[in-house]
Structure 1
Amino acid sequence: MTRAAFPPWTRAEVIGATSPEFARFQDEPAQMKSGAVGKTGFLRLGLEHRSGRTVLAKLERRAPYMVQRALYCDEEMPALASVFLITTTGCMLQGDRLALDVTLGPRAQAHITSQSATKVHAMEANYAAQSQTITVAEDAYLEFLPDPVIPHRHSRYLSDTQIFVAPSATLLLSEIVQPGRKHHHPDECFGATILSMSTSGARPDGRILFAEKLVIEPQRYAMRQTGVMDSFDVFANVILCAPKDKAERIHARAAADLDRAGGLAFGACHLPNDAGLVFKVLGRETAQVKAKVREFWAVVREEVVGASLPPPYLWR
């Protein structure tokens, strides 16, 4: 069978069934079988450069994913397509299988974000899984900066992101993870059962650039220790795939610091195979981490496209 013959969420199902850290979570929910109709969703976005600006040329979806239209609200980059990912459920539940596929054609420029945080609810059986595939063609520019992931107490969440980026393209990908609803209940802070988050990068011809996997099991391994989270609560992992000369300029401007009193630590280093940079941030509060990610984002914009960031939205 060809790839098109399989449902889009097949990869989300496969990675969950084959990941060793999820072997003990293969039981089925009593309410509705995992991966059943109502538990699966997908979104395919294709953005292309046409007549001097980027347009949303392809859109396929199945609830709970939804996108309404591309907006052109960035005064610094009027040709940039801004796309807001919407989920009609507002959360992920046990047995959910979601798939997101984003493709940027040559010279396309886009900013993709979410309408709110991804909340992963408490689970008694199985797990929630999401697969993401991001393809960025020659000379394209993509900012993929969704709101944070909030894993509730006893949640089980698996995420796998595959990146295919051309040598002349730029991709800025951010993933922010909160410790849970720490102001809601003391046991919510690092109360998730397991979070597994993988990211891999390759060239369009299949040549592997890098791979990273983060597995968090707070009930099995202490989070409050040096080398893990220590006294910090919020974590951001920002991946920049960019041509080597641009990555070097950005790295020269990316500071590193450890401020225990202020509750913030951050720094950047090179990805292997001249793929770009990885920028990591730790903070005690989400606002601190998001602000530091925004600073790095501003540097990327200036060095890659020569534009400044617009003012932050009032609701962010």
Structure 2
Amino acid sequence: MRRGMALREIAHIGREAPELAAYQQEPPQMASGSPGKCGYLRLDFARRSRRSVLAHMERRAPSLVQRALYWDEAMPHMPCVFMISTSGCLLQGDRQALDIYMAAGACGHVTTQAATKIHAMSHNYAAQCQHITLEEESYLELMPDPVIPHDNSRFFSTTQIAIHPTATLLYGEIVTSGRKYHAADGGFNFDLYSSSVTASTSDGAELFSERYLLTPKTQPLNNVGVMGEFSVFGNLVLLTPARHHAAILQQSQPIYDAAAGIASGASLLPNQCGVIFKALGYEAHQVKSAMRAFWQVARQEITGASLMPAFLWR
């Protein structure tokens, strides 16, 4: 059984990141990474007879999950888990870590209870660290709801993936411009959003690495060649065996429709490890719809199952 991340490890997330050098001052309230500000989730999925189960769960407040549900009628053997934050948002000095382990042959769907709101900050930053391990023939959909960075917020995220060549991971990320309809915010008024994703094989050979650093106050994002008039960015990483790549790309044609407010496209990742899909939209629901369309194509090709209709409230 693997050990969870120590409190000290979580508290130090982002401490050495150069882009956060100007934001290391401690909050005047609780210090960064203090108990209650240092959330941790560990989710281990395993195969049991004809279905998969959430075999082990470890949590540390404010992170929480409830029991796994089997609501996906297209894949009734797949446990679906909602990640919950009892704090309701991310504040300055908050740290959180997620550790997901997929045993051989296991499958699972992990999402959040709602959008992740990153509140305004005067000191420090909020950060998360994610470790995802997939063993032979396992399958994971990690599809959280959008991130909403409020004005003057700073967020640092790092995701490390170790995947067996026969496994599949679908990992999504949606970032909005902020509260663009809020008079005091207006969108693109956060200080910093830093996200990196690195994937390697089970034996440590690197597959791909992607990092983007958004600092709209010094490098505007609403310029031509960046996001232009769009307000929401979606990134969907699909790591899956090479035999699926051509069929998925063939059914995922690039789109640019300014009137409808959506632009999207897919391309191959290096080392024949998968496909990456990106979307821009005026509103979050447009990007989510584009990502669901790609998700449907990928799931149908890889598992033979369709997506359930989206919940009315999502």
**What TM-score do the two structures reach when normalised by structure 2?**
0.97
Aligned residue number for residue 284 of structure 1: 282
Query: Residue 91 of structure 1: SS of its match in structure 2?
Result: coil
Structure 1 counterpart of 2:147, from 141, 146, 149? 149
Aligned residue number for residue 182 of structure 1: 180
C-alpha contact 2:11 2:38 (8 A) present in aligned 1: no
Q: 1:6 to 1:255 in 2, by over 3 A?
A: closer
Aligned residue number for residue 93 of structure 1: 91
1:223 CA drift (Å):
1.4
CA distance in 2, matches of 1:209, 1:305: 23
**2:282 is the alignment partner of 1:295:** no
Identity fraction in percent: 49
C-alpha contact 2:7 2:38 (8 A) present in aligned 1: no
Residues 79-158 of structure 1 aligned to structure 2 (within 5 Å):
79-158=77-156
C-alpha contact 2:172 2:236 (8 A) present in aligned 1: yes
Structure 1 unpaired stretches of 5+: none
Q: 1:139 to 1:94 in 2, by over 3 A?
A: same
CA distance in 1, matches of 2:57, 2:129: 17
C-alpha contact 1:238 1:279 (8 A) present in aligned 2: yes
CA distance in 2, matches of 1:26, 1:109: 39
1:12 CA drift (Å):
6.2
Query: Residue 197 of structure 1: SS of its match in structure 2?
Result: strand
Moved over 6 A (4+): none
**2:245 is the alignment partner of 1:239:** no
1:11 CA drift (Å):
5.2
RMSD: 1.4
**2:6 is the alignment partner of 1:7:** yes
1:37 CA drift (Å):
1.5
CA distance in 2, matches of 1:6, 1:243: 30
Aligned residue number for residue 268 of structure 2: 270
Query: Residue 92 of structure 1: SS of its match in structure 2?
Result: coil
1:4 CA drift (Å):
4.6
Aligned residue number for residue 225 of structure 1: 223
Query: Residue 302 of structure 2: SS of its match in structure 1?
Result: helix
CA distance in 2, matches of 1:148, 1:304: 25
Aligned residue number for residue 66 of structure 1: 64
Residues 33-52 of structure 1 aligned to structure 2 (within 5 Å):
33-52=31-50
CA distance in 1, matches of 2:56, 2:3: 16
For 1:269, the aligned partner's letter is S
Q: 1:242 to 1:8 in 2, by over 3 A?
A: farther
1:185 CA drift (Å):
2.1
CA distance in 2, matches of 1:294, 1:235: 14
Query: Residue 185 of structure 2: SS of its match in structure 1?
Result: helix
For 1:43, the aligned partner's letter is L
CA distance in 2, matches of 1:132, 1:5: 12
C-alpha contact 1:9 1:99 (8 A) present in aligned 2: no
